[in-house]
Structure formats: structure tokens, C-alpha cells
Structure 1
Amino acid sequence: MTTAEITARSIITKSNLPEADYVINPYTGCSHACRYCYARFMKRFTGHSEPWGSFVDVKLNAPDLIPEKSGKYRGKSVFLSSVTDPYLPLEKNYGLTRQILERLIPLEPRLGIQTKSDLIVRDIDILKQFEVCEAGLTITTLDDTVRKEIEPGTAPVQNRITALKAMHEAGLTTYVFIGPILPGLTDWKHIIEETRTFTSFYMFENLNMSGSIRDSVMGWLSAKHPSLVPEYERIYGKRNDYWDLVEEEIAAFCSKEHIDGRIFFHHGK
């Protein structure tokens, strides 16, 4: 893992995400090395030659770029993070996310924060100071063997579930981001069953296989789960209704079970 300390010119940027007005990325790059990462396109803006997932640039001055006073963000949704994880292992030492959160409190945004790490529980005391805060954990699979294959740099699944419980018990609004849904490997109903009593709502996203993601995912499947290769080739070959049917199933299940489920599917990819 290559780590560099850099100086950023800005830290709060306009968002293209459907549920966020602004995003904050305390780090450039990521150490999770997820096989399915959609943010790998960011590499071309970094000047790095290393593979995506093997470098992290630490924006040392990020907290100082948060304005002390501004009405610009009051009531606006600010999300951490869109192309990195705010709780990378490096955050234990640098504490950038914690400092950023502290400086955001007086700006009164609607905070959204999502991670694959149980380190988020360290900042429960700060998260509780936001009038609106939605704290989420990503869970792609409950099988930790598969987790190690596709997200080798992330926290164990059980650690994330424990973190969700702790945040719920602290009175925070919690959510689980079930995504990307991996056909044949992600049991989204089971994830809901295991987390429902301490989760406020769920987000669902299907697997995006555009660009270099396809080679990364198919290479992993060929090595670890060859029996699934034909199914993925079918799903991501000619246009078919696989994801339409999955979306309908999720929507029907959530409606029947009175679950707040928010679906963000990419079709035709």
C-alpha cells in the first residue's frame, strides 16, 4: 500500500449522487481493493501508476477547508464519501473524518455517512450532535470468505453488524447499503433478516459491470466461482430482464414487510 500526504484545494464538492447535494472525500484512493469498485475511474486524475486499491492520498488540510461559518450548507445533504471510505484503516491515525465532522456540526447540514468499517463507532458522540444524521454500513454478503475475496481490505461482516447495533442503540438513524448485489452470492433477504431490528432503512444497488469492472469481476469468478461464470455472461450479455425482475422482487418484499427500501439500479449494464 502506497500512502502519500497531500494538500487539497477544496473538500466539499457538488454531488451527482441521487440523495446528496454535496460530498466530502477526506482521502483520494482506497485500501479496500474491492473487485467491483466503480470509483477506479478516479485513478486517471491522481497521477498514480499503481493499481486502484493499492494507494491512498491523505488530504492533510481537509478539515481546514471546512468553513467556520456559512449558511450555504444548512439543510443541505452532505455525504461522506463518494469515491473513498471515510473510515479507511488510515483514519485511525489521521482522524481526518472526525475533524471534518466536528467542523460540519455548526453548518447544520443533513449528514449522510457510509462505510465498510466498524471504526465509525468511534465517532458516535459527534454523529449524535447532528440534527439529521443517517449512518450506514455496506454489506455485500454475509459470507466472510466471499467478503475476503471481493473486499480484502475491509472489516469483517460481523464487525459491521455490531457497529450497526451500537449506532442504533445510541439513537442514530441507521441503514444498510446492500450493494452491489452479486448474482448467486448476495442473499439480500438474509441480510435484512440479520439486521432488521436495528436498521432504519435499506438501500439496494445492482452490480455495475461497465468498463474495467467486468474484467476484474469475471477474472475473480473464473478463479473462485467458475460455476457462476455462465450466469454472469448471460446477465451481462444481450439485453435481458434479470435486474428488472430482481428490482420488482425487492420492491414487493419491502412493501409486504413494511420495510423502507430504496432501490438504485443501473439497467442495461
Structure 2
Amino acid sequence: MPSKADQRLTLPDGGQSLPVQVSAGVAALRQSPAADAEMVSQLLHGETVHLHHEDGEFGLVQSQSDHYVGWVLMAALSAPVLEITHRISVPRLHVYAAPSIRAAPHFVLGTGARLVGTGEREGRYLKCERAGWVREDLLSPIATLETDPAAVAERFMGTPYLWGGRDCLGIDCSGLIQIAYDACGIACPRDSDMQFNWFGTAIEDWDTPGRLQRNDLVFWKGHVGIMLDAETLLHANANHMAVAAEPLTQAIERIAKTYGEPIGARRIDLASSVGVTPDWLTRQ
């Protein structure tokens, strides 16, 4: 379980704990309040954070979906927090300034982003608060969940690898896993070490042929991938610099030359995990 010593999930004492919402298409969560600081994660449109305090144009926030802490541009945030009505049901889409394919695009959103529909419609388009006009047939009601994390992850095939990324235009290995399970209504930790320690249950003798199955997670120190079947791994990786599928045996052989052998595999009970608030998400 997370420790109070884990600074990734810990805000300093004090602060205002003001709930605000991401209104940018995507916002970088940085290690320090500087535009060129390391991006440790990303916040997606519609996600809620608690603002601790401001420092110039940045604010120190904690994500309410995974408790990750970092600095984000205040211009990317809005208040008050509005009730989410829809989620993206396709890999990515444009949000437009008007209900027309000829209208100026505001930004691109992808799987994981959330929208606040206003109820105003024109043709096939729905107007969304703090975003713009979106084709409604490319959205799902927020209560409609996916049932296959691996299928969600496959939507990101070919997406460029991006350290700290959780977005349809750039994603890292653990971000891919988190977004895939989130789409199914299952809370997943942000980083691969957290996922290995706190997510699902260990698979004994996972390296026995035929032991793994779809949606199992295979871990290395600092890396994770999701199984598409008993033999095929899908992962965002710096070798392909993209989300790619390959035989697990091939991935193990290649990765071992640099980072060593896998450290284990874990299986998530999908039926019992939907909508559950795990212990790691309730501890401060």
C-alpha cells in the first residue's frame, strides 16, 4: 500500500484544497513549477484536481482519479467543477468551435477524456461546456463502461511513446494500462511500480506456457504491458517509440538485454473491481 513517504501521492500540509476541473484538451503535470520541468503525468479534459496553492502561472494540484501530485498551468483549469455527462468512445476526435466539420477545431480529445454536455444539439453535434461542439455519436454516456481493457488499449496502437503521457497523442507504458482500465470503471494506479504492488493479484507460475490470458499484466522493473492473448504483449515502449504488439517471448528477450527479466505478472478480477474505491486511493 502507498506510504506517506511517497511524494508522488502526497501534498504538503496546509493549502486550500480547492476542487477545480481541467478545461484544456490535455494538461502536463510537471515535477516543478516551470514550463521545461519534467512531465510526470498528464491531466485529461474533464478530470478533477484539488488545488493546493499557486506559484506564478502554475498551481500545485492532486488528481482525484489517482492522487498523483504535480504542477499544472493554472490556465488549464476552471471552476466550479461541473458534472460529467459523457466519455469519448473512439480513439480520438476533434472538438469544434461550431457544429460543422468546417468549423475551427479547438483541440483533440481521446479515450479517457470526459465531457460536460449542455443539452444543446444541432444535427449530430452536442455542445459541451468548456470545450465546444462534438459529434454525439462518438461519445458514450458517462455511466456506459467498456468491458475489455485490452480492447481499449488496442485503440492506442501506433500512438507515439511519451514519458508521462496519458493522452491519445502520446502515452507511456503505465498510462496506457491506467486509461484502459479506467474506461472499464476500474481505478488503476499511475506508475508501473504502483500497479505491480497495489493492482490485482499475482499470477503464480505466470511464465508457464499457456498460463497467461487476455488482460493480464506483465511487469519489468519500470515497465508494464497488457496481454492480448496467452502469447502477445501490447505495450507503449521506447524501442518502437509507440504502442505496439509483439510476441511476449520476443519482448522478454529484447528487454532483458537492458533492464533484466520480468519481475512478475498480475491479474485483475474485472467483475469485482468495477466501481470499487481501492485502499491505495483512500489513503493520504
When normalised by structure 1's length, the TM-score is 0.29
User: Is the helix fraction higher in 1 or 2?
Assistant: 1
When normalised by structure 2's length, the TM-score is 0.28
User: Is the strand fraction higher in 1 or 2?
Assistant: 2
